[in-house]
Amino acid sequence: MKISLVMITKNEERNIKKSLLSVIDLVDEMIIVDSGSDDKTIEIAKQFGAVIKERVFDSFTNQKNYALSLAANEWVLHLDADEFVSSDLKEEIKQTLENTGYDAFYLTRNNFFLGRRMKYAGLAGEKRLRLAKKSLSKYTGGLIHEELVVNGKTGYMKNAFEHHPYPTLDNFFTKFDQYTTLGAMKMYERNKKFHIVHVAFRPILEFFKRYVFRLGFLDGLEGFVWAVLGTFYVFVKYIKLWQLEKNKNI
């Protein structure tokens, strides 16, 4: 059963080699849609024989649907450059797809933060729809929080893949500005109005949700840092929404 890998990238030279190496003996083609990398991302991807397409970024949903449209095979594996497939999951995929009545599969994602596998704080045991038939699937959503949906029968695989989005604080803050901006733009487009309550209480609630209610304190210092940064994320996102509203009236 032939499988296509689809991935969108921008400045992922830190991760992309390890990500592609983790699936090189699993997939039959690699489709990379890049949105203006100025590092070695494209150079590294070409070393793996990947098909590279460049597209100006307008939303995660549109970017990933475009990548999906380029896949030549019916089965498609969806990965980000900071995600790595384990050998156990690869074997499970190979054996399962030989004879299956499912049209898509949810895979378990183990999340890492500052090098630590996070077992709490809302990050443990995530199920992500990442392996699906091209003809039955597409992405929906907006600027961020895109979701792969499948018009078919879905199953679950037991083995996991790894997600290393923030190996360092520098890496976290590199993405922080983009994600808070996109989050604010999404709220603005939905006519969500800024109120002082959003920055006075929402960040505090976010901290307690991550650190207390979702047991982030059991993840040690990394759990505490994750909760604090989540608080700051919410605060900045709403301040950017406030700026968008102010600029509209200028």
Does 174 share its domain with 121?
A: no
Those residues with Cβ within 8 angstroms of residue 13's Cβ, 6 or more apart along the chain or in another chain: 37, 39, 40, 41, 44
Does 119 share its domain with 52?
A: yes
Helix axes 220-248, 169-189, angle to 10 degrees: 40
Indicate the pLDDT class of residue 250, thresholds 50, 70 and 90.
low
Those residues with Cβ within 8 angstroms of residue 141's Cβ, 6 or more apart along the chain or in another chain: 59, 60, 61, 147
Does 98 share its domain with 220?
A: no
Domain that holds residue 183: 169-248
In terms of residues, how long is the chain?
Answer: 250
Among candidate residues 166, 191, 208, the one where a domain is terminated: 166
Mean pLDDT of the chain: 95
Does 228 share its domain with 115?
A: no
Among candidate residues 166, 199, 217, the one where a domain is terminated: 166
| Cα(230)–Cα(91) distance, integer angstroms | 36
Does 129 share its domain with 108?
A: yes
Nearest to residue 31, comparing CAs of 48, 56, 11, 12?
48
**Gyration radius of the chain over CA positions:** 19
CB atoms within 10 A of CB 77: 23
Does 162 share its domain with 188?
A: no
Across 97-107, average pLDDT: 96
Tens of pLDDT, residue by residue over 162-180, are 999 999 999 999 899 999 9
Tens of pLDDT, residue by residue over 6-48, are 999 999 999 999 999 999 999 999 999 999 999 999 999 999 9
- At 60, which CATH number? 3.90.550.10
Does 237 share its domain with 199?
A: yes
pLDDT beyond 80 at 143:
no
Does 146 share its domain with 233?
A: no
Does 70 share its domain with 56?
A: yes
> If you write DSSP's letter for every residue of 17-51 in order, what string do you get?
HHHHHTTTTT-SEEEEEES---SSHHHHHHHTT-E
Among candidate residues 166, 200, 218, the one where a domain is terminated: 166
| Cα(66)–Cα(62) distance, integer angstroms | 6
Does 193 share its domain with 233?
A: yes
| Cα(84)–Cα(77) distance, integer angstroms | 12
Nearest to residue 12, comparing CAs of 42, 56, 57?
42
pTM of the model: 0.91
Across 124-144, average pLDDT: 92
Does 54 share its domain with 85?
A: yes
Q: Pull the structure tokens for residue 1.
A: 């059963």
Indicate the pLDDT class of residue 233, thresholds 50, 70 and 90.
very high
Give the count of domains, the chain: 2
Does 159 share its domain with 174?
A: no
pLDDT beyond 90 at 125:
no
